[in-house]
Amino acid sequence: MREKTVLITGASRGIGAAAARAFARAGWAVAVNYCRSEGEAFALVDELRALGAPAMAVRADVSDPDQAAAMVDNVLENFCQLDTLVCNAGISVTGMLCDITQEQWRRLFAVNVDGTFHCIRAALPHMVHRKAGRIITVSSMWGVTGGSCEVGYSASKGAVIAMTKALAKELGPSGITVNCVAPGVIDTEMNAALGPQDLAALAEETPLGRIGRPEEVAAAMVFLASEGAGFITGQVLQPNGGILI
């Protein structure tokens, strides 16, 4: 039986890299998307191949529709099939709303929202033709609750949740599930910018009393791509340690 194939955007580090490892261990062929972190992406591919998984690295800025389409075509050319798309690529900008520039605001939406749209649109013809597929988007707890000094990021991640729920209704008749993972505070480079005191405060506010690990978010993604999640769609799965803000 051939391996199932997953394409993970923004997979060279953090949650994306953890997801790539988790899918590889589960027996999937893995396409690792990166934009600038070429060295990390190819090192990860070597690691996945050492685990016995077919793997490839593919560069694309997902905010560019042509690059996103070429990326999906590249994956299909190499692996012949795309079973799951994980739209993980994202950026964050922090600061008071009045201090966020127009360029920062547009870039947030270009990557977080437009990038998700571009990748899904490119993958859909293949999935609809097969009447099968899993799409997993990535939001954030701030996309659910909103975060002070992260208005732009919260707005973009909230848009991803709305897109997920609407698309699940649209694609259900085609046998395609669409779900979202909205992590809490996770030990990644992005959150390292918060500083140790802020991270400690967030850990204290979390009922489980700690910051989450990328591997725990990755496990949620593998579950949503599994046969056991075949009747789950339009949902927002929140690996957040129980934090409510």
51 pLDDT above the threshold of 80: yes
Sign of torsion over alpha carbons 5, 8, 13, 15:
negative
Closest to 182 (Cα-Cα) out of 158, 203, 163: 158
Mean pLDDT of 73-89: 98
Q: At a CB cut-off of 8 Å and minimum separation 6, what does 50 contact?
A: none
Question: What are 126-159's pLDDT values in tens digits?
Answer: 999 999 999 999 999 999 999 999 999 999 999 9
Mean pLDDT of 158-165: 98
23, 34, 117, 153: the active-site residue: 153
Q: At a CB cut-off of 8 Å and minimum separation 6, what does 64 contact?
A: 118
What CA–CA distance (Å, rounded) separates 118 from 61? 10
Q: Measured between alpha carbons, how far is residue 70 from residues 36, 57, 135 in Å?
A: 17, 13, 18
- Reduced to 3 states (helix: H, G, I; strand: E, B; else coil), residue 8 is strand
User: What DSSP element (H or E) covers 192?
Assistant: helix 189-192
* Band (103; pLDDT cuts 50, 70, 90): very high
34 is catalytic: no
Question: What are 211-226's pLDDT values in tens digits?
Answer: 999 999 999 999 999 9
DSSP 173: G
What CA–CA distance (Å, rounded) separates 43 from 39? 6
Closest to 120 (Cα-Cα) out of 84, 74, 174: 84
Please tell me the CATH superfamily of domain 5-237, with its number.
NAD(P)-binding Rossmann-like Domain (3.40.50.720)
User: What DSSP element (H or E) covers 121?
Assistant: helix 115-130
pLDDT at 1: 47
Q: Measured between alpha carbons, how far is residue 185 from residues 15, 19, 58, 108, 176 in Å?
A: 12, 17, 28, 19, 29
* Band (245; pLDDT cuts 50, 70, 90): low
Question: What are 183-197's pLDDT values in tens digits?
Answer: 999 988 777 667 788
Residue type present at position 128: V
What is the rounded average pLDDT for all residues in the chain? 95
What CA–CA distance (Å, rounded) separates 219 from 175? 23
